[in-house]
Amino acid sequence: MQPFVAAAEGTYADERIAPYLDIDHRRLRFTLLRRPAREEIVVPVDEQLVVEHYSR
């Protein structure tokens, strides 16, 4: 299937791989090398707003 072929070729892969992951595009596998620090995870959300919302 085309989406899997494209994924194996690394078409959708980021240019920079997170330091806590080991990626094997050919076998479509990844290995979590270590638990990432919070600063290493990019989340387009303001966590404090989420906490405030659910604390109501």
pLDDT tens digit string along 20-31?
999 887 888 989
Maximum CA extent, the chain: 47
Domain of 23 in residue numbering reads as 2-54
Distance from C-alpha of 23 to C-alpha of 7, rounded to nearest angstrom: 11
| H-helix segments, the chain | 2-8, 47-54
Q: What are phi and psi of 26, to 5 degrees?
A: -65, -40
Number of domains into which the chain is organized: 1
pLDDT of 25 reads 77
pLDDT at residue 52 is higher than 90: yes
pLDDT at residue 39 is higher than 70: yes
What pLDDT band is residue 45 in, cutting at 50, 70 and 90?
Answer: confident
DSSP letter at 36 equals P
